[in-house]
Structure 1
């Protein structure tokens, strides 16, 4: 599903963020990515959806090479990848329904398909009753659930969650995690960067720990720490 082969990333200022990483993530896995600030975790995540390009090495998702894909084809590639951010990135003037529908409108889905699918995913994230609300009328947890709905509305093969509980209180964080687990149970591969020790230690999944741009630990049911 997701494969990195000897991937390196050096920024123009000379900082080496990723240092020869090779991994394989199977279809349907739920993977935590942990590591201290500056370890290369964010770069590792961003390269999966081509926000960053590796300096060298090969990255592929579902058999498609990200490294060799032309810029004009990146939007089509990203249809297979949903991304959830820590700060939600909702459009403030659009309703909950419109925020989620926007992801389908850009790929020119029919209005009938949009309405049916949007309401289905709002049901999954338990926000069907708030379809007409604006983002500022929602709690932080509800806004994150809208962001999740938008990320999965086009049935991506992979969902990448970058600190999805980082701005949320513990109770709300658990609500988000249970929703992500349900999405994973439906077959979506999930890669989640997190600093949340309680979640990692309680909901044991595969854990990839990154330190100094390298993978320091890769365990099937890992607990929260960086070093082996």
Structure 2
């Protein structure tokens, strides 16, 4: 499903953010990426959805080498990858329905398919009743649920989440995690970077700990093991 093969990433300022990572994630896994601030988690996540490319090594999703595809091929690749950010990244002038539908409109999906799929994913995140609302009319937790709905409307094979509960109160955070749990139960691979110790320790899944740009621990159903 997802492979890192001797992946390195250095920046122009000389910082080596990822140091020779080798990793395999199976289809259908739920994986937490944890570690202290500055450990390299964000770089690791950005490499997964090709926001950046490795300095050295290979990253493969479903056999496609992200380091070698051309920039014009990236939009097609990202149909396989759903991405959820900490700050939601919703379009403020579009309704909930329009924000989710936009991801399907850009690939020129048929309008009937768009309507059906948007309502399906809004139902999954329990926001059908907010379809006509603007993002400013929603709570932070509701905005994040819209972001999740948008990320899965293309039926991606993997959803990558970068601190998705970082801006939320504990109750909202748990409701978001329940949604990710349902997405994973439906067969979608979930990879999530998080500082939330309680979530990792209570919703036990595979835990990959990164420190100094290297994987220092990889445990099935592990605990957080780091100070946030």
Q: Which TM class, normalised by the smaller chain length?
A: over 0.9
Q: Which residue of 1 aligns with 2:197?
A: 197
User: What 5-or-longer segments of structure 2 have no aligned partner?
Assistant: none
Q: Which residue of 2 aligns with 1:113?
A: 113
Instruction: Quote the Cα distance in structure 2 between the aligned partners of 1:221 and 1:190.
Output: 14
Instruction: Quote the Cα distance in structure 1 between the aligned partners of 2:226 and 2:200.
Output: 12
Q: Does 1:34 align with 2:34?
A: yes
Q: Which residue of 2 aligns with 1:214?
A: 214
Q: Which residue of 2 aligns with 1:71?
A: 71
Q: Which residue of 2 aligns with 1:225?
A: 225
Aligned-pair distance for 1:52?
Answer: 1.0
Q: Secondary structure at the match of 2:222?
A: coil
Q: Secondary structure at the match of 1:54?
A: coil
Aligned-residue CA RMSD in angstroms? 0.8
Instruction: Quote the Cα distance in structure 1 between the aligned partners of 2:72 and 2:219.
Output: 37
Q: Secondary structure at the match of 2:209?
A: strand
Offset from partner CA, 1:5-58 (integer Å, 9 cap, x none): 000000011000000000000000000000111111100000000001100000
C-alpha contact (below 8 Å) 1:94/1:134 kept by paired residues: yes
**Which 4+ residue blocks in structure 1 deviate beyond 6 angstroms?**
none
Instruction: Quote the Cα distance in structure 2 between the aligned partners of 1:79 and 1:68.
Output: 17
Q: Which residue of 2 aligns with 1:17?
A: 17
Q: Secondary structure at the match of 1:145?
A: helix
Aligned-pair distance for 1:226?
Answer: 4.3
Structure 1 length as normaliser, TM-score? 0.99
Aligned-pair distance for 1:225?
Answer: 1.4
Q: Secondary structure at the match of 1:60?
A: strand
Instruction: Quote the Cα distance in structure 1 between the aligned partners of 2:95 and 2:226.
Output: 40
Instruction: Quote the Cα distance in structure 1 between the aligned partners of 2:69 and 2:126.
Output: 36
Q: Which residue of 2 aligns with 1:150?
A: 150
Size of the aligned set, in residue pairs, is 227
Q: Which residue of 2 aligns with 1:123?
A: 123
Instruction: Quote the Cα distance in structure 1 between the aligned partners of 2:225 and 2:12.
Output: 30
Instruction: Quote the Cα distance in structure 2 between the aligned partners of 1:136 and 1:101.
Output: 18
After superposition, where does 1:80-119 map in structure 2 within 5 Å? 80-119=80-119
Q: Secondary structure at the match of 1:223?
A: coil
User: What 5-or-longer segments of structure 1 have no aligned partner?
Assistant: none
Structure 2 length as normaliser, TM-score? 0.99
Instruction: Quote the Cα distance in structure 2 between the aligned partners of 1:202 and 1:162.
Output: 19
